[in-house]
Amino acid sequence: MAIRNIIKYGDDALRKVSRTVLNFDERLAQTLDDMRDTMYAADGCGLAAPQIGVLRRYCIVDVGDGLIELVNPVIIEKSGVQNEDEGCLSIPGNYKTTVRPMRVTVRAQDRHGNTFTVSGEGLKARAFCHEIDHLDGVLFIDRAIGEKK
């Protein structure tokens, strides 16, 4: 396990579309472990693989109720709307009011390749959307509607 360097805004890697994970191997498990250590060390509530320079479709979220690992995640349902301040470990010190759905359901795979669905509301929905956006090279500032409230 290791703490990885978090890529900062301006690096092209943050704007790339990440590729589907096909191999649920030891390397994936190791990278997920590193991402967990890196996210907790940075006091974040989410981290996506491209943020450590790995252009593959997976991310992690922990909004205080446990770690969720999402491999090849897809948002399959969303409802409602929320406008809250949002930030990103790759854009430190920058917080903007960002539009997100209030509730989302995500279908993903775990580190072993097993498919599951998970739902989230409020902050958790926001975190899912934010991290999944990273897999398509989208940053919260692209969706921001105003300065921090």
The residue among 70 and 88 lying less far from Co ion, judged by its C-beta, is 88
Min separation Cβ 48 and Co ion, Å: 6
The residue among 24 and 85 lying less far from Co ion, judged by its C-beta, is 85
- Contact pattern for Co ion over residues 72 through 111, marking x by CB under 5 A: ----------------x-----------------------
Exactly one of 69, 84, 131, 147 is catalytic; name it: 131
The residue among 68 and 88 lying less far from Co ion, judged by its C-beta, is 88
- Residue 130: φ, ψ to 5°: -60, -50
- 49 is an interface residue for Co ion by CB under 5 A: no
CA distances from 1 to 9, 129, 138, 139 (A): 25, 27, 28, 27
- Given strand 96-100, what is the order of strands in its sheet? 82-86, 96-100, 144-147
Min separation Cβ 46 and Co ion, Å: 6
Q: Contact 36/60 with Cβ under 8 angstroms?
A: yes
Other CB atoms within 10 A of residue 104 CB: 23
Min separation Cβ 113 and Co ion, Å: 25
User: Helix or strand or coil: residue 121?
Assistant: strand
- Asked about 84 being catalytic, the answer comes back as no
Residues of this chain that interact with Co ion (CB under 5 A) are 88
Show which residues are catalytic: 131
